[in-house]
Amino acid sequence: MTSSTASLIRDARRNAGLSQASLASRLGTTQSAIARLETQGTNPRIETLSRVLAACGRELQLDARPRRTSIDETLVAAHLRIPPGERLKAFEHSYAEVRAFALAGARSRGELA
């Protein structure tokens, strides 16, 4: 689950039992600056986010994970090994089959004479 930086900051502050003013005091800034950080759409630098979370007794941890994709990359790689001319012929053949299928559907619905 992802959360916005605004809600991450707000939740950390609340869980630490801090008001915006008390968090601002810890950070040497103003309450309005904290309020801006807690506004949806805010995009603080990582250093700022880390400092704010540390002031709330939290540690920022970044993690990079492999993306999950619905694409079978082995199939893509296999298709790229096929010469371009053959790929184009296969595409044209597939297009003709899909077009025929679509026309048959239109005829069965009475959309074509």
Number of compact structural domains in the chain: 2
10, 56 contact by CB (below 8 A) = no
Q: What is the pLDDT of residue 1?
A: 43
Distance between CA atoms of residues 9 and 44, nearest Å:
10
In eight-state DSSP terms, residue 66 is P
Q: What is the pLDDT of residue 2?
A: 54
- Give the range of the structural domain holding residue 33, as residue numbers without chain letter: 5-55
Residue 72 one-letter amino acid: D
> What are the backbone dihedrals phi and psi of residue 100, each rounded to the nearest 5 degrees, phi first?
-65, -40
Tell me, yes or no, whether 104 lies in a domain: yes
Distance between CA atoms of residues 96 and 12, nearest Å:
58
Tell me, yes or no, whether 67 lies in a domain: no
The tens place of each residue's pLDDT in the chain, 113 residues long, gives 457 999 999 999 999 999 999 999 999 999 999 999 999 999 999 999 999 999 999 999 999 988 788 888 898 899 899 999 999 999 999 999 999 999 999 999 999 86
Tell me, yes or no, whether 60 lies in a domain: no
Neighbours of 13 (CB within 10 A): 22
Q: What is the pLDDT of residue 67?
A: 79
Provide the whole-model pTM.
0.57
Is 48 found in the same domain as 81?
no
Distance between CA atoms of residues 83 and 94, nearest Å:
17
Query: Which string of b and e fits 39-61 if b means at least 16 CB within 10 Å?
Result: eeeeeeeeebbbbbbebbebeee
